Each structure stands twice: as C-alpha cells, then as structure tokens.
Structure 1
C-alpha cells in the first residue's frame, strides 16, 4: 500500500515509539508547571522507587491511543503535501489553462488568487473548528472538501467553474493545514520527539513547492494540466479513509463559538490578502486596493479589541506574549514572501530565457529539492550540535546568499552558474530554516491554544506568500527585459530575507533566552 511504502521511507529515528492523546486531555506535570509557569506535555509514569499497585497502573498508563506513530506522520505529511502541491502545480499549467478555457490575464490571475484568498482568509476559522469539533473529524472533512474540489477542477469546462472550484479547494486547505499541524502537536510530546516530527513536516513544506512545479510541468507537457489535480483524488481519499484508523481521536473543547471573532478574522485577513493581490495589477493607489486595506485595518483592529474581551477567543492574544512565537510568525511571512517570488520568477526565467519546457523547468528545481531533502535527513543532528537558534540563523543566511547570487542571473549566461548553484544554497538554507520557524511558532503553547497557534503559523505562511509575490511583481513591473525583471524581483526578495534574518537575530533568539530564564 502507498501508506506502508511511505512509512517505510521514514527513518525510525524520526518517529516516536508511543504517542500521546490530544493535549487537552493530557495530564500536566506539576513540577514542570512550577518550574516554568506553563504546562508541559508529558506522559504520567509511576516512580520506580515505590511499589506499583494495580490502581497505580490504571492511573499511570497513558490513555489508549494509536500505536502507529509512523503511520500518523505519513498521513499528516501526505495530506499537507497535497495542499502544497496544488499551491505550485498551477504555475506550470497556466499557459495551457489560458488556452483551453480562453481566460484573459485577469481571469488567469484569479485561478491562483481565488485559492490564496480563501485559504488565507479561513485559516483561523479552520483552526478553531478543529478545537471545538475534534481535530481528526475536522481534518477528514477538510480532506473530503479538498478532494472534491480537486476533481471539479480537473473536469472544469469553463473559466468560472475553475475559479469557483479553486476557491472551494482553498476552503478544504484552510481546514486541513492547521488541523494537520495541531494533530502533529497532539501526537508527539514536546521535546526531541516532536522536533523530529516537525523536521519532517518542515521538509515537506520546503520540498512540496518545487515538486509541485515538477509534477505540474510533467502533467502539462505529457498529459494535460488537469492531470496535476486528478492526482489529489486517489491520494486524498486514501488519507481520509486511513485517518480515522491511525490518527488520535482528540477531545472537543467545551465552549461557545466566537462568531464575531470568526467573522472579523475571516473578513479582515481576506480583505488584506485581496488588497495585496489586487495591488500587483491596479497599483497601491487604486481605490479598490485602498478600500480593501482600510477595511482590513478596521476589521483586524476590531478583532484585537474583541479578542481582549471575550472569554473564548478564536485568536488568543496571549500567543503573541512570547517573543519566540510572534517573531517566528513575522520571520515566516518574510521568508515565504521571498520564496514564493523565487518560484514564480525562476520558473519564468527557465522557460522564457533558457528555453526549457514546463517539465524541464520542473526538473530545473531538482538541485534545490535534492539538497533540501538531504539536509532534512540530518537536521536533528545539526540542531543537537549547533542549537535551534543557530540552525535558524544559518538557514536564513544561506537562503539569503543563494537568492543574492541568483539575482545576478542577468550577468551569468548559463543555467549551471546562474541558477543551479545558487539553488544549492537556497535548498540547504530552506532545509535548515523551516523546522525552527515551525517549532518556534508553536513553542510553549497551552494545550487549548494548539489549534490557534497552528492556524497562525499557516496564516503567516499564506500572508507571506501573497504579500511577497505582490510586492516583487510590483517592484519589477517597470522592467521590459525578462532577465532584468527577474533580477529586480529577486533583489527585492533578498531584501525580504535580510529582514527575516534581522527578525531571527533580534526577536526570536532574545525571546528564546528570556523564555529559558523564566
């Protein structure tokens, strides 16, 4: 079976031999709470210095849960990969889609924007649904929506059908993404075991985009652009069927649904993403863009005021009290903004300047993908020796160096020197940076905040991609020559990475030290 094959490929040292249930139902270690003022997810065990009675065994035994941690990790990673796949597979298929469905430039942009807008806008709502209704149940429902939308995209007869289906796919992705990360948090206790799982999750985030371009290019060239979306159907159905068997059943949190907070968060983030997306074509001074940004500011400010007062917020503001977490959200947005621009413009460079076919352009990203995967396999050893903070700084710095090198592509005539070698640095940097960024984003969260923290990690991810791409497109719009346009965009991307590095050094690392002393 596919799952068994994928599970076998995961080294046993990267998974745990036991799992914990949902943090909401996991006992807290009182010594740990007294020491650092917050709960730590631990298994309750009896002391070896005292005789153990049958009652002790009954109390100390971990609650019944799934006994297949590698299967848990495989289901989460494959499901997350499907989301990432479709976030990039569309790039190489756009020319074929435009021709087949007779879409103009504006309609073609909405093929991607509809997905991004809905995905980004609904992430916090999707995370909260998992908390209230049960994360496994919501995860399976999200997969069902995502698979259905993927099928509808594959059979789309018209442009409006395709755009509507992409929006529906964004709904499914907004449910699956935060549920996947919170299920991972619930399944693997905090510490080295979770770090190993997060390393694979982060590797999937780094590799998924480049493999999406390869799969999309191969499908567009040899079969049809539709094939890239049909791939999701059998894989998604398989994960939805296997999830109830292997994933831990999480308890629902008691409480009321914060409807006003949900509306404010969804509409506010949606207006922000819409304004950013539209700025690329209309300009920042457009009434539509200004109106969207003003609406976003009002709605998000109202969200903050409301969340301060409500007893059960959809966005607990205490998540921003830890410098590690809010620094990780900001750094992730900056990092992803640069990386989305990298994929968008480098794909054009390889096809239009170097004459690559869509499939060859996908293969052109293999230097980055291969190095990224290789780094992921040794990441835990690197973190053990150098520390998580040093690993993050090194990863961002390597990515920055690779991006700065790639931005000189106009002065370099060959693919090897101008693209492939810089990609090696970018792949190594991405392999090092993603796991710490993810880990810091969920560091030290309370059990009841796991879903919200996961939603914020993914919201930062989506806002970063939308903002970064819009910024780089706008910055390079004045250049008529392709290589000059790509060089300009990637130079700005290098600037985003420089700010990401500053955030890591001045916010995340000091925040880590402060947390360690408390």
Structure 2
C-alpha cells in the first residue's frame, strides 16, 4: 500500500499544497510574536484589573519572555527528536489554553503563571514551525520565499501586537487581548492539523538518540538566571544583591553547560552545530539585532502615550506603517539578495534601520506623530524586515535536516536573550538620563530625553553590527548564501552567493 509514503497532513492523507502549509506555519509564528508585544499598551489597565503593584506589572511581560527565551533550545531539540509537527501541535494547543487562562485571570498569580505557560508553549512552536517551513523546499527557491514570509510575519507580529492590544483594550478591556489570542491560536491549531504534512524524510534526517536532560536543565537554568537578572536590574538596579547573584549563577551554569556538552554524544547543542556554515555568525548578528528590536517596541509606544498623549487605540494604529514597511522589506529581501549578495543586503538593511533610529533620536516633547514618528517608522520597518530574513538565513545555513529544529530554536534564543540584554541596558540608560533631565526640565521633556538616548544608542549598535557583518562572514570563509538563491548542482557556485564586501 502506498499510504505509508504519504505525508499525513490532512484527514484525506493527501499532502497539502506547500503554499497552504507555509501559511499555517507563518500564522503560528505570527501568533508567537504577537503575544510578545500585545500587552504593552494594556499594562495600566491590567494593573488596575488584577491588583498588580507597579513593580510586579512588568512580570506580565517578563514571565512570557523569560520562559520563551530559556526554553527555546529544549523546544528545538524536542522537535527534532519527537517530530516537528507533533511538537508544533502540542505547543499551539497549550498556547491557546494558557491564553484563555490569562484572559480569565482574576489574581496576579494566575495571570503571571499563564503568561509563563504561554512562553513555554511559544518555545515549542517557534523552532518547530521554522524547521517545517524550511523543509518545504530545503535547497530551492522556495526556501527564500519561506524566509521572506518568516521575516514579514515576525516583524508584523510585533507591530500588530501593539495595534491589536490598543484596539481590544479600548473597545472591550484588557482581558480580550488574551481571549483574542486564544481564539486565534485555536484557528491556527486547526490549520496546522489540516494543512501541514508530517515531517518529511527518513528518520535519520529528523534526529536520533536520547534527550540531553543534564544539558537541558543546565542551559535552561542559566538562561533563566540571565534573563531574570537582566529584567530585575531594570527596577532594582545593577548593584542589587539578587541581580549580581543571578548573573553570576548564569555565568557559572553556562560554563558548566559547555563542559557537559563536550562530553555527551547526544548533546542538546552539539559543538558541530556552531561550526556548521555560518550558524555562529548568524546568531551573533541576530542577538545584536534583537537587542534593538525588542527595545524599539517598548520605547516607541511609551513616547507616544506618555509624551504625545496618544490613547491605546491611536498608539496601536500608528504601528501600521511600520508593520507594512516591515512586510515589504521582508518580501523584497530574497530578490535584493539575489541581485547584490546576502552580506551586502544584510549590511544595507541594518544601516537603513539605524538611520531610522537615529532620526527617532531627534524626537521632541512638543512633537507629533507625523513629524517625529512616521518617517523613522518607515525606514525602521524596511530595514528590520530585510535584515531579519538575511540573518535568519545565515543562522540556518548548511544545517543538516536532523538539526533543523535545534537551529531554529537557537536563532530564536539569541534574539530573545539579546533582546533581554538590550532592553535592560537601554531602560537603565533611559532612566538615568530622564532622572538627570528632570532636575532642569518638565516631566515630558525629561522622558523625551531618556527616549532620545535609547534610540541614539540603538542606532549606534546597529551601525556597528552592519560594519561587523561583512568581516564576520569573511572570517568564517566560503561563500555567503543569498536567502533565496536557487539551488545549483554541487559543482557550480552561484554568482550571487559570493561574499559581498
């Protein structure tokens, strides 16, 4: 019988069209990114509705980010060993249930626990969905299309979260931001079950061996200590004993993890992965991009609400140009990379985003959305969408199918951890500048000074990243692969894939 060879992606046993499967997988990634930012504009209402203190309300954001970032390597490896479609379905189901629980929460403890469960589920969804998307066309032009879609939905998810959060909070209250995510997750779950085929390829291509429990526990605890220490430093200060202890524990645990991984045949993050293609280079550059990305969606809504006086709905709607520019940049990225080379495209995209952030560093307390925010948002969106596609392509370049889920988890981890580090540093900087400016100016002027400093440093980080990218690519040797370059026979070298200086 031929049924054994047929991917079981639907009730009929027929393999769905790749475009439909990619749409379902992209919807899963969009949902994960949406949940990262959807609570930002609703935090005052959430604090009033659940009785959270000023200090505890930040954990509505942090609980999700901490669990998501810390558990991504484990989620990626589980997807490789247990089956990516199976792990994706379980993750989306848990995400829907946790979102519903968050919307029904009447106490701070229940809400924060539900947000942590959302983060755990997201850590299973993101690497499994990315591995399945790239498997649709592992080496052909469809890979570039998949990465373009991934960049578009990832950036649009961050901006869309601010928009949807503002609309729902103003119309029906904060609980509906979670009810809407729960409903959307249920629809995504149905689409994945119906449209995404079972993992393709022989079992040898999907990973083998036992789960690395010792490595998983060590790196999860290390990342938890790191993210917790960084996020707590924002409110308690870098000299706080708990912050210092958490960061010291993170360093010790990461050293222990490196020792464990060298000695285990079934390592969670095999050393071979970091020497494959440009995985290490792509992850380092993605961490630097993430340090600015997450902070952008934190500071920009605050400026609009606290200084310009915009409400949740207006603040959310103002993200539409940025989201549209991001989607345009991501969709054009493969085409640009084929024309100019992947490295040149990535560097130009990072410089474009840096230019937008430098423009934002000129915002004023008496400004307006049209004069201070709209233009920079368009530049940032174009650069962000293009850079995300190219850096993701670098981070998964040359990875064998058996490690695809792990590579997807790793690049998401570096973005999340980079974001936690960047947000902690930039909020500390902005707070210090604001406190100093408050002595001589009004409260809006002091806040604006802090935001300007954060945007200026963000622009400097991206400029340095753009200058660093060609150097790192050259140092890793070989050719830089354009995100959408079509596959060629092994004896040929694609012209557009040469390293672009």
Query: In which range does the TM-score fall when normalised by the shorter chain?
Result: 0.7 to 0.9
Give the corresponding residue for 2:46. Answer: 97
Give the corresponding residue for 2:407. Answer: 453
Q: 1:490 aligns with which of 455, 458, 479?
A: 455
CA deviations over 1:224-266 (Å, ceiling 9, x no partner): 1111111122322222233233223124633111110111111
Q: CA deviation at 1:346?
A: 1.0
Q: CA deviation at 1:163?
A: 0.5
Give the corresponding residue for 2:391. Answer: 437
Instruction: Specify whether residues 329 and 254 from structure 1 end up closer, same or farther in structure 2 by C-alpha distance, changes over 3 A only.
Output: closer
Alignment of 1:223-302 (within 5 A): 223-250=172-199, 251=203, 253-302=207-256
CA deviations over 1:319-347 (Å, ceiling 9, x no partner): 22147221211111111211221111110
Measure, in 2, the Cα distance between the counterparts of 1:234 and 1:350.
Answer: 29
Give the corresponding residue for 2:126. Answer: 177
Tell me which stretches of 4 or more aligned residues in structure 1 moved more than 6 Å: 515-518
The answer to whether the 8 A contact 2:308-2:366 is kept is no
Give the corresponding residue for 2:158. Answer: 209
Instruction: Specify whether residues 156 and 324 from structure 1 end up closer, same or farther in structure 2 by C-alpha distance, changes over 3 A only.
Output: same
Q: CA deviation at 1:514?
A: 5.3
The answer to whether the 8 A contact 1:324-1:509 is kept is no
The answer to whether the 8 A contact 1:394-1:432 is kept is no
Measure, in 2, the Cα distance between the counterparts of 1:411 and 1:274.
Answer: 33
Give the corresponding residue for 1:467. Answer: 421
Q: CA deviation at 1:65?
A: 7.3
Measure, in 2, the Cα distance between the counterparts of 1:183 and 1:21.
Answer: 16
Give the corresponding residue for 1:420. Answer: 374
Q: CA deviation at 1:374?
A: 2.5
Measure, in 1, the Cα distance between the counterparts of 2:178 and 2:285.
Answer: 31
Is structure 2 residue 56 aligned with structure 1 residue 107?
yes
Q: CA deviation at 1:474?
A: 0.6
Instruction: Specify whether residues 344 and 390 from structure 1 end up closer, same or farther in structure 2 by C-alpha distance, changes over 3 A only.
Output: same
Give the corresponding residue for 2:171. Answer: 222
Q: CA deviation at 1:175?
A: 0.7
The answer to whether the 8 A contact 1:323-1:507 is kept is no
Aligned residue pair count: 458
The answer to whether the 8 A contact 2:65-2:416 is kept is yes
CA deviations over 1:273-315 (Å, ceiling 9, x no partner): 1111111112222211111111111111111111111111110
The answer to whether the 8 A contact 1:316-1:452 is kept is no
Identify the range of structure 1 (264-273 vs 397-406) with the bigger mean alpha-carbon deviation: 264-273
Give the corresponding residue for 2:476. Answer: 511
Alignment of 1:368-387 (within 5 A): 368-387=322-341
Q: 2:76 aligns with which of 117, 127, 149?
A: 127
Structure 1 gaps, min length 5 = 1-19, 23-63
The answer to whether the 8 A contact 1:21-1:187 is kept is no
Measure, in 2, the Cα distance between the counterparts of 1:355 and 1:412.
Answer: 11
Alignment of 1:130-145 (within 5 A): 130-145=79-94
Is structure 2 residue 453 aligned with structure 1 residue 499?
no
Identify the range of structure 1 (348-357 vs 316-325) with the bigger mean alpha-carbon deviation: 316-325
Is structure 2 residue 161 aligned with structure 1 residue 196?
no
- Normalising to structure 2: TM-score of the pair? 0.87
Identify the range of structure 1 (138-147 vs 443-452) with the bigger mean alpha-carbon deviation: 443-452
Q: CA deviation at 1:181?
A: 0.8
- Normalising to structure 1: TM-score of the pair? 0.85
Identify the range of structure 1 (316-325 vs 99-108) with the bigger mean alpha-carbon deviation: 316-325
Structure 2 gaps, min length 5 = 8-12, 439-445, 481-492
Instruction: Specify whether residues 242 and 415 from structure 1 end up closer, same or farther in structure 2 by C-alpha distance, changes over 3 A only.
Output: closer
Measure, in 2, the Cα distance between the counterparts of 1:354 and 1:512.
Answer: 49
